[in-house]
Amino acid sequence: MDELAAAAGITVRTLRFYRERGLIAPPRREGRIAWYDDHHLAKLRTIAALLERGHTLNGIADLNTAFESGKDVSEVLGLGEPTEEEPIRLTPQELADYFAGEVTPENLLAALDLGYLATDGDAIVHISRRLLDVSAALVKEGVPLSAVLEAGRAVREHAEALAALFTDLLREHADEKDLQRLRPLAKSVVEAELSMAMDRRLREPS
């Protein structure tokens, strides 16, 4: 415990307090010896970074609970890596920086539930760099992250329906081996229809 506290730059008393609050996992014990490892040190450095960013210990504890309840990256990726989207690894403090003041336990649980976020050891994985960047841009424009996530949930439902429509269409009229090659055609139809729909909506009086 003394060695871990020294490596993390905190007092043993503070370390005991964090343990009592459940902010770090118990050590591995061999007889009367308690062994801490790099995972404990990484968690302590994360706590320090989040405290510097204005999070309270209660908030950090809630975030920690939300992370631990989330799926790991293998469960989210399912059958394999996305074919077009690029996953991105983040530390908890990097995620907090993307959405300053908006990374609440409620928003975190919503993102985990959507499958936008997953855990990979001490790191967080966002399933799509593109979705992460768009979400952050919307939040910077003043859209609450909770509203962005709710819209993402609605878009997911429509996207699943569109994917089913085009997959069924292509499977009926094309060879299975050509599905990946033809998928950009489906995306082009959706992009064009969405563009025209946005034109119609924006022309309407508010």
In three state form, how does the secondary structure of the chain look?
A: CHHHHHHHCCCHHHHHHHHHCCCCCCCEEECCEEECCHHHHHHHHHHHHHHHCCCCHHHHHHHHHHHHHCCEHHHHHCCCCCCCCCCEEECHHHHHHHCCCCCCHHHHHHHHHHCCEEEECCEEEECCHHHHHHHHHHHHCCCCHHHHHHHHHHHHHHHHHHHHHHHHHHHHHCCHHHHHHHHHHHHHHHHHHHHHHHHHHHHCCC
> What pLDDT score does 131 carry?
94
> What pLDDT score does 77 carry?
61
> What pLDDT score does 138 carry?
95
Residues in the chain where the model's pLDDT stays below 70: 70-82
Q: How much is the pTM?
A: 0.75
> What pLDDT score does 79 carry?
46
Cβ atoms of 23 and 60 closer than 8 Å: yes
